[in-house]
Amino acid sequence: KPNLVTYSTMMSRAVSLGKPRVALRLWNLMRNQPNFYTNVLSRKLRAGRIICDDAEQLMGRAGLQALEADETVIVPDVICCNTLMNAYAKLGDNVMARSVLNSMLGANNDGDEKMLCHEGIPMTTPTVVTYNTLADACKVAGELGEALEVLQLMKHHASKTGENSVVPDAMTYTILIGTCARKSKQQQQSR
């Protein structure tokens, strides 16, 4: 039976072959599997095996680790989330890529586009690859302001958590320079 590694690998391969829409279909297929973590939680809630207060705790890091211990349950990890973001990046959909990051950070939907969350993404710690993928999505979309905002998000995350692994790197700045060049070219063409 397919597991997280199977789906993540197929999604990654689809993106690398220039077929990001196939990767998104694979994501939806994975999400609809009976052993996807949100479906497992729903069944447990309906069966009365957990109460609503427990459900919120289960969605936290400790609860997800307990579900991950059961190898039959599919709980997306940072690699799977980055692959999903990369599919959106290749399509130039920086809004959906941002929704993946918002969900990874544990944000809730409140109607604000910046806080749009992606269904099925658990709280997990983003990496520098996560932020660079979001910046790349902004580059493809031609959104210089959004790309620069990603740089600020990275710096904020690094200072808040003390994680040096999430500070902007050479790839971050390469993406930002590419975004500036793309925006400049767009402005020249519109004249």
DSSP string, 147-191: HHHHHHHHHHHHHHH--GGGS--HHHHHHHHHHHHHHHHHHHHH-
Place of tokens 């990767």: 23
- In the predicted model, is pLDDT for residue 55 greater than 50? no
For residues 107-130, average pLDDT:
79
Check pLDDT > 60 for residue 87: yes
Q: What is the pTM of this model?
A: 0.85
132 Cβ partners below 8 Å, 6+ apart? Answer: 169, 171, 172, 175
Q: How far apart are CA 72 and CA 57, in angstroms?
A: 21
What pLDDT is recorded for position 161? Answer: 85
What's the average model confidence in pLDDT over 41-51?
A: 69
Residue 49 has pLDDT above 70, yes or no: no
Separation between Cα atoms, residue 152 and residue 118, nearest integer Å: 21
- Environment class of residue 107 by beta-carbon count within 10 Å: exposed (0-12), middle (13-18) or buried (19+)? middle
User: Quick one: which H or E segment has residue 41?
Assistant: helix 37-46
**If you average pLDDT over every residue of the chain, what do you get?**
86
What pLDDT score does 110 carry?
54
Lowest average pLDDT, out of 39-43, 106-110, 156-160, 162-166, goes to 106-110
Across 124-134, average pLDDT? 95
What's the pLDDT score for residue 111? 52
Question: Which residue did the predictor score with more confidence, 73 or 16?
Answer: 16
* Higher pLDDT, residue 49 or 56: 49
Identify the burial level of 52 via C-beta atoms within 10 angstroms of its C-beta, where 0-12 means exposed, 13-18 middle and 19 or more buried.
Answer: exposed
More confident residue, 177 or 44: 177
Share of the chain above pLDDT 90, in %: 58
